[in-house]
Amino acid sequence: MKRTGAQIIWESLVREGVKYVFGYPGGAILPAYDAMLDYPIHHVLVRHEQGGTHMADGYARAGGGVGVAMATSGPGATNMITGIATAQMDSSPIVCITGQVPSKLVGYDAFQETDVTGITLPITKHNYLVTDVRDIQHTIREAFYIARTGRPGPVLVDITKDAQQASADFEPDTSPIRLPGYRPDLRPLTADMHTAAELIREAERPLILAGHGVLMSGAMRELREFAERTRTPVAMTLLGIGCLPASHPLNLGMMGMHGEAWVNNAIQQADLLLAFGMRFDDRVTGNTKTYAPNAKKIHIEIDPSEVNKNVKVDVALIGDLRETLGQLLPHLGHCDHSEWLEYIDEMKGDTAVRDIQSLPDSGHLYAAHVINDLWRFTRGEALVVTDVGQHQMWEAQYYKHETPHSHITSGGLGTMGFALPAAIGAKFARPEAEVWAVAGDGGFQMTAAELATAAQENLKVNVAIINNGYLGMVRQWQEFFYERRYAATPMRSPDFVKLAEAHGLTGIRVTERSQIEAAVRQAEDTQGTVVIDFRVEQEDSVYPMVPAGADLHAMIRRPKPSVLAETAADR
Amino acid sequence: MRHTLVALVEDKPGVLNRVASLFRRRAFNIESLTVGHTERPGVSRMTIVIDSDQTSAHRVTAHLYTLVNVIQVDDLAEKPAVNRDLALVKVRAEGDSRARLLRVVDETRAHIVDTSATTVTLEITGEPEHLDLVIGRLQPFGVVEMVRTGLVAMARGDVAMRPPNGGYSNHAAVPLD
Ligand SMILES: Cc1ncc(C[n+]2csc(CCOP(=O)(O)OP(=O)(O)O)c2C)c(N)n1
Ligand SMILES: [Mg+2]
């Protein structure tokens, strides 16, 4: 069979099981776009290539498999950078296909030529420049294989226009992929396994730190089994949320900069930390010199370069988390640890009275209330995609996620503008899910153009804008560390209700707590995408907070409310 | 401490860039880097010398493994090895200094590879320390031009670098610091 390079691209994507491509056309990718119409793949026309990469990312994180984004050379490709870096930092499997100027012109600063493989080299798991039609099939196969195996990540394939136009014999290749330098199937050493089991048996105050790796390797059952059998409490990273039901008695909640005090104090006082698929990011450790000083540390991790990078550990088990836990479990008996668990419970009680939920209901709309009510009225069943800022932390604190893959956010890169496009991608992956994007007034405006994509696709996502009139998280730092000098953080925004309506979508404004339920119900009952503008308290702050680089136990605590007034239903 | 990392890599365009970029991005300073062919077609060998502590050398080794085109990495600081550097040195040699220079050449096992009326070009091969020494003795004559290739190295004995099959040697199993 003779096929053009453009056709081979789509043949290959179909063979990888790709159903959606999030893209934007242009000159250098035009041959591929022309061939697209003949293949059973739905192309989603995004409004900015960054949005396309976030959609692919959200699609992958929601469980759709490898997400695919496409763009033209030069500006199309450079617009993808933020989304690629976001996927890289959070190990999200996406494949980006970019057009490149004809190979004869590469290196001559041709119109819309950019060294895309050069630019993306440090922010991809791997990338390729393809100049020969005969290399397209195996390169795309390798790209998908690399993106989804081992520690997943973004792979970019840059294909010159002449390679897309040229023809070659095409036979579908199904041979196993062999890359001499790529060995994603690492296993821990048996001796280390035994050492780990011994440390676990000896521990009196053990704690599990559950990260994104639990979700990525699908180790939810093993984690739960481990925690229950050894009676070990579980703290989660931001990206680990959902790996154990929030209501599980051993689930402590989120750790780190905005983790609850009892969680961070438990980490500091533990005698054994079990790091499952997490990488001791500075946002979860605080000052590493004083981090968990009395704890032995066991790190189960798929990427050897993460071991001993930020925190020195006593035992490292390199390998897939699910498999490794599966092998470790038979070595472990039942433990008690009731003293330790009771102690943590006591710390918890002390913190609960400081909770914002305990504030008197003054009629003001607090972001925490919005999130809490959103959780109640969506029965905790929504797939929530958050942006970056205060609202992101409040969501992590107050939306109690019961199921895996129900919380998607940009953790490592902290990319504002992520929520709406990632939510759109997530909805394509899980059409049956009730998808909510929760964004700040600032971040929403960074990719708000993707409302038009949702409208064109007749896609239903709900958007909750936590509108505080500020770049809130930065304002909070200015309040705490820069003497309230609010440089460039007050933000005037367009009328979000009208903005939604201008897209032919529904907009709702909420200014009082009593309006939340009706708004959420209306959003759920409306067919198309709905935008809710929640006008919340402007100078509210996220507590507790570990200042950057401070000791994990040195938290700025919530101010203690003087009056405790609350309705039982809010608990 | 000086670490000599040897990396077997796929012989493909851009691989040198990937490796060099990794060192730059992770803020490791490369003292020397050489690339050459090996006994196997399609496989190149890089010798990278860095000045770092043991922990950092482990770290950069692990990072090198994250590169898809890197097949195997070995740190020769941990084992006996043959180290070789090569220098070409063009030295001023006029009048009676020429005779003195030829005596130094004799004593230091340097080779004369080119001569002119006013200069002599020498080739020196050996351990880097040997080169330092010889170049030091040539300095008084006046070094007109000099180049060193950078280190290449190979472990002693009957061991050879071969791609590992399967398991990864656990980092924590190797003593740190
Ligand atoms: C693309 C990008 N630019 C800047 C930042 C820095 N930043 C982090 S949080 C934040 C404020 C976000 O404001 P908003 O979206 O209104 O959310 P809020 O904190 O008010 O909930 C900023 C500017 C970022 N994370 N990403
Ligand atoms: Mg805001």
pLDDT of residue A351 exceeding 90, the answer is: no
More confident residue, B56 or A266: A266
Mean pLDDT for chain B overall: 90
Cβ(A416) – ligand 1 distance below 6 Å:
yes
Q: Which of B18, B163, B171 sits opposite A307 (nearest CB)?
A: B171
Chain B residues in contact with A190 (beta carbon < 8 A): none
Cβ(A472) – ligand 1 distance below 6 Å:
yes
- Whether A382 and A500 map to the same domain: the answer is yes
Cα–Cα distance between B148 and A431 in angstroms, integer? 63
A179 falls within a domain? no
What is the number of domains present in chain A? 3
Residue ranges per structural domain of chain B? 2-79, 82-148
Catalytic residue among A70, A89, A161, A255: A161
User: Is A161 among the residues known to form the active site?
Assistant: yes
Secondary structure class of A409 (helix, strand, coil): strand
- Whether A251 and A282 map to the same domain: the answer is yes
Buried b (16+ CB within 10 A) or exposed e, A195-232: bbbebbeebebbbbbbbbbbbbbebbebbbebbeebbb
Which one of A315, A348, A381 terminates a domain? A348
More confident residue, A522 or A362: A522
Catalytic residue among A19, A112, A225, A456: A112
**Which residues make Cβ contacts (< 8 Å) with residue B82, sequence separation at least 6?**
B153, B154, B155, B156
A269 falls within a domain? yes
Q: Is B166 on the interface with A (CB under 8 A)?
A: yes
Residue-level pLDDT at A353: 64
- Whether A338 and A365 map to the same domain: the answer is no
CA angle A244, A83, A451 (to 5 degrees): 90
Segment B13-22 mean pLDDT: 96
Whether omega for the bond prior to residue A544 falls within 30 degrees of 0, making it cis, is yes
Which structural domain range is residue A153 located in? 2-169
Segment A312-322 mean pLDDT: 96
> Which pLDDT band holds residue A567 (cuts at 50, 70, 90)?
very low
Residue-level pLDDT at A359: 65
- Whether A152 and A9 map to the same domain: the answer is yes
- Whether A293 and A383 map to the same domain: the answer is no
Segment A349-364 mean pLDDT: 71
pLDDT of residue B117 exceeding 60, the answer is: yes
Cα–Cα distance between A568 and B175 in angstroms, integer? 56
The predicted-structure confidence for A394-414, as pLDDT tens digits, reads as follows 999 999 999 999 999 999 999
B124 neighbors B108 (Cβ within 8 angstroms): yes
- Whether A385 and A336 map to the same domain: the answer is no
- Shortest distance, CA A192 to any CA of chain B (angstroms): 8
- Shortest distance, CA B93 to any CA of chain A (angstroms): 45
Residue-level pLDDT at A85: 98
Identity (one letter) of the amino acid at B114?
Answer: D
Nearest CA to ligand 1 atom 17: A440
Residue-level pLDDT at A352: 66
What is the complex's ipTM, to 2 decimals? 0.90
Cβ(A136) – ligand 1 distance below 6 Å:
no
A50 falls within a domain? yes
The predicted-structure confidence for A464-523, as pLDDT tens digits, reads as follows 999 999 999 999 999 999 999 999 999 999 999 999 999 999 999 999 999 999 999 999
- Whether A152 and A198 map to the same domain: the answer is no
A356 neighbors A529 (Cβ within 8 angstroms): no
CATH number at residue A274: 3.40.50.1220
Phi, psi of B145 (to 5 degrees): -160, 145
Residue-level pLDDT at B164: 54
Return the closest-CA partner of residue A22 out of A531, A528, A450, A505. Answer: A450
Range B82-148: architecture per CATH: 2-Layer Sandwich (3.30)
> Which pLDDT band holds residue A168 (cuts at 50, 70, 90)?
very high
Cα–Cα distance between B107 and B109 in angstroms, integer? 6
Residue-level pLDDT at A569: 37
- Whether A108 and A209 map to the same domain: the answer is no
Residue-level pLDDT at B170: 37
Determine how many CB atoms are found less than 10 A away from the CB of residue B115: 12
Same CATH fold assignment for domains B2-79 and B82-148:
yes
pLDDT of residue A349 exceeding 90, the answer is: no
Residue-level pLDDT at A186: 85
Return the closest-CA partner of residue A188 out of B164, B176, B169, B60. Answer: B169
Cα–Cα distance between A451 and A465 in angstroms, integer? 13
The predicted-structure confidence for B55-96, as pLDDT tens digits, reads as follows 889 999 999 999 999 999 999 988 899 999 999 999 999 999
* Span from the CA of A471 to the centroid of ligand 1 (angstroms): 6
**Which residues make Cβ contacts (< 8 Å) with residue A194, sequence separation at least 6?**
A331
Portion 126-165 of B in contact with A at CB < 8 A = 163-164
Q: Which of B21, B67, B172 sits opposite A316 (nearest CB)?
A: B172
User: Is A381 among the residues known to form the active site?
Assistant: no
Chain B residues in contact with A188 (beta carbon < 8 A): 170
Superfamily grouping for domain B2-79: ACT domain (3.30.70.260)
Q: Is A107 on the interface with B (CB under 8 A)?
A: no
Taking an 8 Å cut-off on Cβ atoms, the answer to whether B17 and A118 are in contact is yes
User: Is A2 among the residues known to form the active site?
Assistant: no
Q: In terms of DSSP H, where are the helices of A123-189?
A: 136-148, 161-165
Q: What is the dihedral of CA B86, B92, B98, B102, to 10 degrees?
A: -10
The atom of ligand 1 lying closest to the CA of A394 is 21
Which one of A320, A348, A376 terminates a domain? A348
Of A106, A120, A178, A308, which to mutate for an interface test with B (greatest number of B Cβ within 10 Å)? A308
Nearest CA to ligand 1 atom 11: A471
- Whether A163 and A207 map to the same domain: the answer is no
Residue-level pLDDT at A490: 98
Segment A551-571 mean pLDDT: 64
Q: In terms of DSSP H, where are the helices of A387-510?
A: 390-398, 419-429, 441-446, 450-456, 472-481, 496-502
* Span from the CA of B118 to the centroid of ligand 2 (angstroms): 75
CATH number at residue A28: 3.40.50.970
Say which range, A357-366, A475-484, B37-46, has the weakest mean pLDDT: A357-366
How does DSSP classify residue A470?
A: B
> Which pLDDT band holds residue A176 (cuts at 50, 70, 90)?
very high
pLDDT of residue A277 exceeding 50, the answer is: yes
**Max Cα separation, chain A?**
78
- Whether A328 and A363 map to the same domain: the answer is no
A373 falls within a domain? yes
The predicted-structure confidence for A95-153, as pLDDT tens digits, reads as follows 999 999 999 999 999 999 999 999 999 999 999 999 999 999 999 999 999 999 999 99
A69 falls within a domain? yes
User: Is A276 among the residues known to form the active site?
Assistant: no
User: Given the DSSP bridges, would you call strands A435-440 and A462-467 parallel, antiparallel or unpaired?
Assistant: parallel
Residue in A470, A473, A476, A540 to alter for ligand 1 test, most ligand atoms within 8 A of Cβ: A473
User: Is A89 among the residues known to form the active site?
Assistant: no
A410 falls within a domain? yes
Return the closest-CA partner of residue A131 out of A94, A170, A157. Answer: A157
Residue-level pLDDT at A1: 87
Say which range, A184-198, A207-221, A422-436, has the weakest mean pLDDT: A184-198
* Span from the CA of A419 to the centroid of ligand 1 (angstroms): 12
The predicted-structure confidence for A37-78, as pLDDT tens digits, reads as follows 999 999 999 999 999 999 999 999 999 999 999 999 999 999
Q: Count of A–B CB contacts within 8 Å? A: 76
Taking an 8 Å cut-off on Cβ atoms, the answer to whether A181 and B21 are in contact is no
Determine how many CB atoms are found less than 10 A away from the CB of residue A564: 10
Cβ(A414) – ligand 1 distance below 6 Å:
yes
Taking an 8 Å cut-off on Cβ atoms, the answer to whether A308 and B176 are in contact is yes
Secondary structure class of A4 (helix, strand, coil): strand
Nearest-by-CA chain A residue for B69: A181
The atom of ligand 1 lying closest to the CA of A441 is 16
- Whether A25 and A98 map to the same domain: the answer is yes
Nearest CA to ligand 1 atom 13: A471
> Which pLDDT band holds residue A315 (cuts at 50, 70, 90)?
very high
DSSP B88-143: EEEEE--TTHHHHHHHHHHHHT-EEEEE-SSEEEEEEEE-HHHHHHHHHHHGGG-E
A101 falls within a domain? yes
Using alpha carbons, list the distances in angstroms from residue A191 to A170, A416, A557, B72, B173: 48, 44, 43, 23, 9
Cβ(A466) – ligand 1 distance below 6 Å:
yes
Of B44, B66, B70, which to mutate for an interface test with A (greatest number of A Cβ within 10 Å)? B66
- Whether A161 and A13 map to the same domain: the answer is yes
A408 neighbors A57 (Cβ within 8 angstroms): no
Cα–Cα distance between B152 and B37 in angstroms, integer? 12
Q: Is A89 on the interface with B (CB under 8 A)?
A: no
Cα–Cα distance between B20 and B30 in angstroms, integer? 8
**Which residues make Cβ contacts (< 8 Å) with residue A202, sequence separation at least 6?**
A272
The atom of ligand 1 lying closest to the CA of A476 is 19
A184 falls within a domain? no
Segment B106-130 mean pLDDT: 96
Task: For tokens 């180049």, name the residue.
Answer: B147
Return the closest-CA partner of residue A272 out of A335, A202, A214, A213. Answer: A202
* Span from the CA of A388 to the centroid of ligand 1 (angstroms): 6
